[in-house]
Chain A
């Protein structure tokens, strides 16, 4: 797999530090927050905590480096992304949120949009899963997270099936399963497969796989 740095345009050679069992929350940050966002975020935090998923956002870590590069790495590190939007947000803020959501979709992450009922979704995102923040929406968030857990099992199952024909893709499905579940058994299995089939794996894929298998 080749990953391009979205702002430098070169093939990325930076190591990725994965964050299993985390959810990257994309929404308005800072002071003077929209009341809808505050309310929805509280619900999301409560449910993520219930499911044992650590919540992170663009302000969670301080790297001292480029802010956008930090966000890009966070979108790549987390298995789940939840965007929270409301009609009270500026077009600039919503643009930033959808950019991050697009990055996560392209990296095969599990994404969800939670929006206030009056907030319109752009047509390009009509097929992205979304929830209106109205009566009993917390149940729908829980249903999404439950489905994400099932996806981890699916990724692991697909990995088992494709392993004979393509160890690189199998390891990548294992990576996605591991990121959701945090189950080190999957990582050990990926490591064993990597060692056994190393000769069939190209240099760029080895680089990418080593990031995943690094302790």
Chain B
């Protein structure tokens, strides 16, 4: 399955999610409230390296 262009990751420093545009290579926004953005896939560190 193709990777999504926009994903989100939780920043442990702030405890808030940030939205990342993979094709632009940029963090495009930081959520002001708690919880993830709706409809945006959350990426987590893969266990296998």
Residues of A with Cβ closer than 8 Å to B?
A: 110, 147, 150-151, 153-154, 156-158, 160-167, 169-170, 185
Contact = CB atoms under 8 A, between A and B. Distances in A.
Contacts of B12: 147, 150-151, 153-154
Nearest to A185: B49
* Secondary structure of the A contact surface, majority rule: helix
A157 B44 contact: yes
A157 B25 CA distance: 12
Nearest to B20: A161
B45 interface: yes
Contacts of A167: 25
A154 B16 CA distance: 12
A156 B45 contact: yes
Contacts of A110: 13
Nearest to A154: B12
A165 B3 CA distance: 13
B13 A165 contact: no
Contact of A165 (B18, B21, B45): B21
A8 B3 CA distance: 46
A161 B23 contact: no
A162 B22 contact: yes
A166 B25 contact: yes
A167 B26 CA distance: 11
B33 interface: no
Contacts of B10: 154
